Amino acid sequence: MVLYVIGLGLGDEKDITVRGLELVKSCEYVFLEHYTSILGGVSKEKLEDFYGKSVIVADRGLVENDAEELIIEPAKEKKVAFLVVGDPVCATTHTDLVIRAREVGVEVEIVHNASIMGAAGACGLQLYNYGQVVSIPYFDDKWRPTSFYPKIKYNREGGMHTLCLLDIKVKEPDFVAMAKGRTEFLPPRYMSVNVAAEQLLEAEEKIGEGAYDSKKTLCVGLARMGQPTQQIVAGTLEELIHADLGGPLHSFIICGELHDLELEVVKEFLIEGSTFERDNSKSDDK
Amino acid sequence: MVLYVIGLGLGDEKDITVRGLELVKSCEYVFLEHYTSILGGVSKEKLEDFYGKSVIVADRGLVENDAEELIIEPAKEKKVAFLVVGDPVCATTHTDLVIRAREVGVEVEIVHNASIMGAAGACGLQLYNYGQVVSIPYFDDKWRPTSFYPKIKYNREGGMHTLCLLDIKVKEPDFVAMAKGRTEFLPPRYMSVNVAAEQLLEAEEKIGEGAYDSKKTLCVGLARMGQPTQQIVAGTLEELIHADLGGPLHSFIICGELHDLELEVVKEFLIEGSTFERDNSKSDDK
């Protein structure tokens, strides 16, 4: 039969498309991907009520180790839905699932929806002016990777904005408990705009190639985009370290060159007394 | 009251979200934006049946000249829906409408949906690896602008893919008829992958800075993304000049560096006997 990979959009249960909802209702098994993103404030139970179906939460282990048996094998005979927050083609994980399903002859149909990449236009920065998207992983004691830094630098030198996707840690093993012989997981963590700003500041201080200026470059913090409690705050990197944007998910934008129309919208979100200075000079002329 | 700016997604009437549909049904007036994109194969009448509402088609003239009177003024007292193909925040036009409405105290609510920018991930190229989006306008006898060229070059030098949005000409005045005193419009035109490939080739021949190679660089033609008749064809620029992708809308991608997983998916769409050669060397190291 068919594996339907269906985007849920960004907000709550009603952000699924009419087509997507009809397909979910027609499926035998419904999986909800639950480790690259979260659907803000909607429980599995609420989704089940809305669909009139049981929903199986698929964590990373299930998708990476058991997808063959639990998702792809049943999809040979029946209709199976794999629900993904945002748009299904945004994360590599789902590409992999699609490839594996098609390899064994399962038909795969994608139902698109809004993603954070599209919704990032809501702060007034034109989607045309974004460069490469980067991911910012949680720094820990030993691992403080700054591979996002040269990408942001390259985008900024070309006048482009950079959307930064912030790390999510769901169902991470608790090694302290495991050492004591118990299988336990740490509580989920979602990187805030504040932590992202701190880490970006650290990267600039460490590398020092002037990819961005912590006191001048305009940055935008996004929280719960597409949800009723959506919040957008603009300011410098230093200012965003202390901005309170409430609960997850957060994303972060480092602006490049600002066009007049962009500035007109984004300045509505500026922190009071911000030291941001408009600076449209490119570092070189490429 | 409220101006709801609602994305319709890419395919047909059922690609609206459940939330979007509920809002449309609750509105007094429903406008359909009809000049930056088209909803594939769905007539105004079909939308009206589906919504149980009259739909007013809004062309460029209406939105740019009469939005104040026809859309914003009524939205002060009543609920008004402004429907947009794709996601509402993708085009500057709608930003302008939103700003003008808010300026006079009208509450504006955006309902996101899938856009071509998200759906472009369906060909296997990771959305993370795209640089700045460019627009390719129709060349005519006098006006053959190549402002897209340096942007593609910059993206490619940074290893990034470039999504090219192709020109749409809807309700263009017919100057020949107008000279005879008649107000007439030319038939709508939607740029095909073939014309885009030709114009890109001309730009490279004229400017000659090697932004891309017409015989080697992988390009991808996209047609009717998110619709049942969706078509994806990959090949070199020269090969795509002759590929038949059927009716509109088309989009075009010029690949940058290809990762293994990307190549695995995109090669499924390769034209038979393509001369494309994988070349992951960047032009410089920044």
Q: What is the pLDDT of residue A41?
A: 66
A274 marked ligand binding residue = no
**B17 to A19: CB separation less than 8 angstroms, yes or no:** no
Structural domain contains residue B101: yes
Identify whether residues B101 and B138 lie together within a single domain.
no
Q: Which residues of A touch B133 (CB under 8 A)?
A: 127-128, 130
Structural domain contains residue B279: no
Residue in B127, B149, B161, B232 to test binding to A, most A beta-carbons within 10 Å: B127
H/E/C letters for each residue in B85-125?
CECHHHCHHHHHHHHHHHHCCCEEEEECCCCHHHHHHHHCC
pLDDT digit string, tens, across residues A176-222: 888 888 888 888 899 999 999 999 999 999 999 999 999 999 999 99
Rounded to an integer, the average pLDDT of A6-32 is: 95
Closest chain A residue to the Cα of B17, Cα to Cα = A17
Q: What is the pLDDT of residue B120?
A: 84
**A112 to B264: CB separation less than 8 angstroms, yes or no:** no
Q: What is the pLDDT of residue A280?
A: 56
**Residue among B198, B189, B188 at smallest CA distance from B221:** B198
B133 closest CB neighbour out of A14, A87, A127? A127
**B95 to A261: CB separation less than 8 angstroms, yes or no:** yes
Identify whether residues A160 and A103 lie together within a single domain.
no
**A132 to B127: CB separation less than 8 angstroms, yes or no:** no
Identify whether residues B136 and B262 lie together within a single domain.
yes
Query: CA distances (Å), A6 to each of A124, B33, B115, in order?
Result: 28, 26, 15
Identify whether residues B38 and B145 lie together within a single domain.
no
Q: What is the pLDDT of residue B181?
A: 87
B244 marked ligand binding residue = no
Closest chain A residue to the Cα of B121, Cα to Cα = A89
- Domain end marker among A73, A93, A114: A114
Residue B21 in contact with residue B6, Cβ under 8 Å? no
Identify whether residues A187 and A256 lie together within a single domain.
yes
Give residue B45's domain range.
Answer: 2-114
Residue A101 in contact with residue A3, Cβ under 8 Å? yes
CATH number, domain containing residue B79: 3.40.1010.10
pLDDT digit string, tens, across residues A107-125: 999 999 998 887 788 888 9
Counting the structural domains of chain A, the total is: 2
Structural domain contains residue A283: no
Structural domain contains residue A103: yes
Mean pLDDT, chain A, whole residue set = 91
B259 marked ligand binding residue = no
Structural domain contains residue B278: no
Is residue A281 over pLDDT 90?
Answer: no
CATH number, domain containing residue B141: 3.30.950.10
Identify whether residues B64 and B102 lie together within a single domain.
yes
- Complex ipTM: 0.88
Structural domain contains residue B96: yes
Q: Is beta strand B2-7 parallel, antiparallel or unpaired with respect to B107-111?
A: parallel
Closest chain A residue to the Cα of B150, Cα to Cα = A286
Structure-block tokens of residue B87: 């996601």
Q: What is the pLDDT of residue B219?
A: 97
Least confident of A7-21, A87-101, A126-140, B22-36: A87-101
- Domain end marker among B114, B130, B163: B114
What does the alpha-carbon distance between residue B204 and residue B214 come to, in Å, rounded to a whole number? Answer: 8
Q: Which residues of A touch B131 (CB under 8 A)?
A: 131-132, 155, 158, 160
**B90 to A121: CB separation less than 8 angstroms, yes or no:** yes
Q: Which residues of A touch B89 (CB under 8 A)?
A: 118-119, 121-122, 127
Identify whether residues A172 and A41 lie together within a single domain.
no
Distance from CA of A180 to the nearest CA of B (A): 39
Identify whether residues B105 and B153 lie together within a single domain.
no
Closest chain A residue to the Cα of B9, Cα to Cα = A113
Identify whether residues B124 and B107 lie together within a single domain.
no
* Inter-chain Cβ pairs, chain A and chain B, closer than 8 A: 161
B132 closest CB neighbour out of A11, A90, A160? A160
What does the alpha-carbon distance between residue B200 and residue B190 come to, in Å, rounded to a whole number? Answer: 16
- Domain end marker among A56, A87, A114: A114
Identify whether residues B121 and B252 lie together within a single domain.
yes
Q: What is the pLDDT of residue A285?
A: 37
Identify whether residues B107 and B244 lie together within a single domain.
no
Is residue A286 over pLDDT 60?
Answer: no
Q: What is the pLDDT of residue A244?
A: 97
Identify whether residues A207 and A189 lie together within a single domain.
yes
Distance of CA B138 to the CA centre of its chain: 14
pLDDT per residue of chain B (286 residues) written in tens, 0 to 9: 899 999 999 888 999 999 999 999 999 999 998 777 777 768 889 999 999 999 999 988 888 889 999 999 999 999 999 999 888 887 667 888 998 999 999 999 999 999 888 778 888 898 889 999 999 999 999 999 999 999 999 999 999 999 999 999 887 888 888 888 888 888 889 999 999 999 999 999 999 999 999 999 999 999 999 888 999 999 999 999 999 999 999 999 999 999 998 998 899 999 999 988 776 554 433 3
